Amino acid sequence: MGVMFRKSQKFSPLILNFTEHGFSSWTIKIGRWSWNSRARAHRVDLPGPLFWKQNKTRRRESASDHR
């Protein structure tokens, strides 16, 4: 695996994330809670190196949902 470029720019609670290809995602961080636009996941920092994460997946619609 090669070396990857990653850069973050912080503007108060808003964090913009960049890769070698340009803008990647944005994050809102308030205290120990954060939400990332790309992962669509809530994260809470716990004491030490631990954290709790809840992924928010989109529900796939089937043909029967439109009736």
Residue 65 pLDDT > 70: no
- Spatial separation of the C-alpha atoms in residues 36 and 42, rounded to whole Å: 7
Q: What is the DSSP string of 46-67?
A: -STT-EEEEE-PPPPP-GGGG-
Residue 34 pLDDT > 80: yes
Indicate yes or no: pTM above 0.85.
Answer: no
The tokens 């850069």 sit on which residue?
7
Residue 55 pLDDT > 80: no
Q: What's the mean per-residue pLDDT of the chain? A: 84
